Each structure stands twice: as structure tokens, then as C-alpha cells.
Chains A and B, each alone.
Chain A
Amino acid sequence: MWRIALAMLLGDKPKYLALVCGLAFAVLLISQQMAIFMGLLIRSTGPLQNVSQPDLWVADEAMRWISETRNLAETDLQRIKSVPGVAWAEPFFTGRANADLPNGSQRFVNIIGIDRTTMVGQPPLVTEGRLEDLRIEGAIMVEESARAKLDGVKIGDVLKLNDQRAVVIGFCRAKAGFDSPAVVYTTFKNAIKFQPLGRNKLPYVLVKVREGVSVAEVQRTINAIPEIKAFTWDEMNAITIKFILVETGIGINFGITVLLGLIVGLAVSGAIFYQFTMENSRSYAVLKAMGTKRWTLVGMVLLQATWVGLVGFGIGVGLTSLFTLQSRRPGVELAALFPWQLLVGSFVGMILCMSAGSILSLQRVLRLEPGVVFK
């Protein structure tokens, strides 16, 4: 009977294709929008992901997310260094500057300033040039995906950052931030030269806790210092994501798109599947008259729904996967992340879409009078 159910489904090619396309589109819309949303959320924590060495990030207590900083005083750095259990504490700079490019155009860049001695906060991967050359006065290392944004700069090219001379000494790979400007690495000393900060000069202090000492204990001690707060990596990650979700409205906007995808899926697949069942109602009536039991008919309808659901789901998530892979290519501005949880979520979306169609169709099939075969 299952072969008959599939033959009925596959035999009506236009409807079958419309069903599969409708579901694939709904799943694509749901999964791709969610993937972009997840990608943007993860991208918002990009600067955090580039720095793995410290146990704690210390910032002004009013800091709301990683890219919005209120600077600490240099005396705070000394206080933090003197906290028992701190192995090292180094300044870390993140801020914006205006870059004048060789072709005369301008571009915003995100400057990351790392300690010139320990190089704590260094880029995860240097692709061209030497990291040590960053210690040269005015040296910058450009993140690979920023090459094109900075007019295809090469090693040795000279840019102006906030009207200060900057020399490209190499290239590296690092995660971009939420708004994805060109990222350049330099030393903390160079960074505050490119972007003078006034009296308070420290956006962040990165802290490593001595081995065998409780991170929580050190965190508590640092938090006792007025107006500063220490965050673990997970806490920084959480407050950054919370800020993006709550303050930007991005969650609601993507939520609406996902909901639209679900509604499109429900409406299109539900309507087409019901129509398919209506057009096959005579065949179902014949089967019913010939002695096919109710549960067999229910199974046949559910098999058809599951089949189109899985094919549509496969195509939808396949397209989202291609999109996600595309977004991972260097220099591509697309932000997409497709974890397994999203796969499960899209599957649930597909089940919801097909359930609507199945319920209507099942009602139709179960209420069908076999007597119609004589008409």
C-alpha cells in the first residue's frame, strides 16, 4: 500500500513539484534567515573570539557589549595587576579610526591594539609578514578580508589613520565584528596614537589568573575595585549577544521573517497538499470501497506528507548549507552559521508545515464515503 501511496504522489508531477518547491522555499526561508541571525550574533562576538589567552576581561562597569567601551584609567591597570592571583594583566585596545586610502577615498577601520611586549590579544593567524614588526612605530597588520576594503593594500603601503601615518607590515586572519569594518592590528602604543583617548586610555584590561588560583575568586576581588568589572569569556559573550538581541531589534526583525517563512510553508504546502488529496479523493474512495482500512489510509496520507516534507526539507537545508559555505569564504560579507540545533529547528518548522496539510487531508480522507465510487 505504501508503494501505491508514493505512486499516487509521484504520479501527479506538477503538484508534487509545487509541494516540494513550496516546502523547500519555506525551509530555506526559515533556516537561512535563522542562519544569518545566528551568524550576526556570533559575529557580534568576533573580537572576543579572536582573543583566547586571558581568563578575564576587565572593563568599565557600565560596558554593555564588546564594541561599546568606556575607558579605564591607567591606575586601574596597576590595581588589577596587584590583585592576588593575577599572573598578568595587559591593556587591550579596540576602537574606530578613519583611514585615508592611497586612492584618496576614506574608510572606517576597527583598530585592535595589543601589548607590544607580550603580544597578548594577537591575531589568531598571521598570513603574511611578521608579528614582531608590529612593534615598529606606526605599523599595522591588516586582516585578510579587509584587503579589498582598503583598496587592495600591500605590505609597505602607507595609509593615514585619523591623519596619522600607518605602514602595512603584514596580513592576518581574524573574526570581524558585528558591523564588519576593516580590522587592523597594531600595538597598544600605536593604537592610542592613531586614536588619542584623553585621560582614560584603557578600553579593556586582559587578565590571566595564576595556575591553581580560582578565577571566580580573582574576579570577585577585581569587582571590589570601584567602577570596574571583570567578566569571564562566557559572560562577555552573553552580554554582547543580549545587547544585540535586546537593543538592536534584530531578533524581532529576523523573528518576523522566520514567522513569514513558517506561514508561507503552512499556507502553500497545506493548501497544495489538501488540493492533491481532494483530486485523489476518488482513488481513496475506491481503495476504501475495496476494503482498505482507515489506519492504512491514514498511513498512506502521512507517508505522502512525510515524503514531500523530507524532500523539501533536504532541498531547503541543502540550499542554506550552500549559502553558509559561501559565507565562509574569505572576504565575503555574508554572516551565516548553521549549527545542528538550527537543523532540528528547521525540521520542526517543516513538520509544522506538513502537519497542517496532513490534518486537513486526513479529515478529508477519513470522512470520505466509499459510496462516491458509484457516482
Chain B
Amino acid sequence: MRLRGVTKSFGKGSLEVKALRGIDLDLSAGQLVMLVGPSGCGKTTLVSVISGVLNADVGEVSLFGIDWRSLREDAKTGRRADMVGFVFQQFNLLAPLSAWQNVAVPLMIRGVNQREAKARACDELAAMGLGDRVNSMPAQLSGGMQQRVAIARALVGSPRLLVCDEPTAALDAKTGQIVMDLIQRASRKVDDKGRGCCVIVVTHDNRVFQYADRIEEMEDGELKVKPAEFILKEATHAARQ
């Protein structure tokens, strides 16, 4: 994944806010990258642009060889369905759907028939340790369980990019660890074609930094230059990988 000179502003005139100021970033599959920084620094805007949910004003955003700018809105939406999985801070499960139905939504969007979608959703839930809760409604599940359902939903379509926005913010420390274990496991997984998944986690939670292969810090819409010892640590980690 490659970003070059990406800028994004909101509002106009005196109300204009520059959320991203010329971001350059390269990410590769199999990495768990954490995006950290104070509130309002542009982390969420950056992952929105990377995942094609928002359009950059200027700059190149290409995901596995596809330049988002070259795609029309509907084509971009289709690509998002095929390639991107999302895990949100507030889980964003659809309340009237059971756990397996929630997990099956990305497959249904792709047009997978219901029987197959159900089977795959139940397998994914079982992998998340929720094999006995497939028919539970979101309201019947704890916060940790709901987030695991959300992770299952994000992973069921074997995405090549997993975007996690504050996945542990609404959870206690122990549940947060379980959720991060699952997210890390996803970053290590390869699909049938041997392709890995790039995982970006936006977080404030310094208890989960240990799971990162790489940490990018943002401030005022820019990526901060890393200290030399940090880069060395990352290089060591990459070599170990």
C-alpha cells in the first residue's frame, strides 16, 4: 500500500481544517501497523482515505496496485467490499441481526448465497470462540463478545486490508488483550492464494502497543519523524519476521 503527498481538508475559507498534510506512507501485507497520536491529529481521516471511505483532496493512494483515484464511486465501493474489513470502536453491529447474520453481511454484499454465507460466518465465529453464540442477538452479548463478532465480520471475507478504529477503547484490559490477540492473528494469516493481510490499528491505548509490528505517530495531520532507535527496533522486528 502506497500513499504519496496525501492531503485532506474539511470546511472552506476561514473554517477550513487541514486534516492530512502531505502524508507519505508505505505499508505491506502481513504487518500490524498502529497509528497513534492525540485526538484530532488525523488518524481516523488517514484510515478513511486508505480504506477508500473518504477521497483525498490531493495525492496518490494505491492499495495493492489499485489507485483509488482511478475508480468511480461504485467501483470503489465494490473494491472496498472485496478488499477491506472494518472493526469499529463502537462495534457497529446491526442490532436486528443475530451474530451469524452480522458476520455474514460482507458475504451477502458480495452476493454469496445464504447457505454458504451462514456456514462461513459460523466457522468464523467458532474461530473467535463464539461457536455457541451464533444465534445470539448483539444485545445479548457482552462488549468483548460483540467486538469479537465485529472482528469475525471483518475477517469473514478474507480482506487484504483490515482497518481497526480504537478496537479496544470500549473494552476492559483483559478483553482488550483477547481482541488484540485475534487482530494480530489476522495479520499473520495468509489466504488461499498465499496473500497476507495488512492490519492498521488506530489506537490511544498504550497497553496494546506491544502487538504492533510498526508504530506510526501522527501530529497535526502529519506523520512524525521517528527517532533512530525506533527505526532500529522496527528493522530488527522485520528481520525476525
CB of B80 within 8 A of CB of A291, answer yes
CB of A291 within 8 A of CB of B88, answer no
Partner of B74, one of A283, A287, A293, A374: A293
Given A291-B106, A291-B109, A292-B109, verify A283-B94 contact (CB < 8 Å): yes
CB of B77 within 8 A of CB of A288, answer yes
Question: Quick one: closest A residue to B202, CB to CB?
Answer: A374
Q: Is B54 an interface residue (CB 8 A)?
A: yes
CB of B109 within 8 A of CB of A374, answer no
CB of B74 within 8 A of CB of A294, answer yes
CB A304 to nearest CB in B, in angstroms, measures 12
Most buried by A among B78, B97, B101: B97
Given A4-B94, A7-B96, A292-B77, verify A373-B82 contact (CB < 8 Å): no
Q: Is A370 an interface residue (CB 8 A)?
A: yes
8 Å CB contacts to B: which residues of A4-53? 4, 7-8, 10-12
Q: Give 1 or 0 for each of B27-54: 1 = CB within 8 Å of chain A CB.
A: 0000000000000000010011001011
Q: CA separation between A375 and B40, bound complex, in Å?
A: 12
Given A370-B53, A373-B86, A374-B44, verify A291-B78 contact (CB < 8 Å): yes
Q: Is A148 an interface residue (CB 8 A)?
A: no
CB of A371 within 8 A of CB of B48, answer yes
CB of A374 within 8 A of CB of B80, answer no
Q: CA separation between A3 and B98, bound complex, in Å?
A: 12
CB A217 to nearest CB in B, in angstroms, measures 70
**How many residues of B sit at the interface, in one of the four size bands?**
20 to 34
Q: Is A282 an interface residue (CB 8 A)?
A: yes
Q: Give 1 or 0 for each of B131-157: 1 = CB within 8 Å of chain A CB.
A: 000000000000000000000000000
Most buried by B among A10, A286, A369: A286
Chain A interfacial positions (CB closer than 8 Å to B): 1, 3-4, 7-8, 10-12, 282-283, 286-294, 296, 369-371, 373-375
Chosen A-B contacts, 8 in total, with CB atoms closer than 8 Å, are: A7-B94, A7-B96, A289-B51, A289-B80, A290-B81, A291-B82, A291-B84, A375-B44
List 6 additional A-B contacts (Cβ < 8 Å) besides A4-B101, A291-B106, A374-B89: A11-B95, A286-B94, A287-B105, A289-B51, A292-B109, A296-B109
Chain B interfacial positions (CB closer than 8 Å to A): 44, 47-48, 51, 53-54, 73-74, 77-82, 84, 86, 88-89, 92, 94-97, 101, 105-106, 108-110, 114, 165
Enumerate the 7 nearest inter-chain pairs by beta-carbon distance, A residue then B residue, closest first.
A291-B81, A11-B96, A291-B80, A7-B96, A374-B44, A286-B92, A370-B53
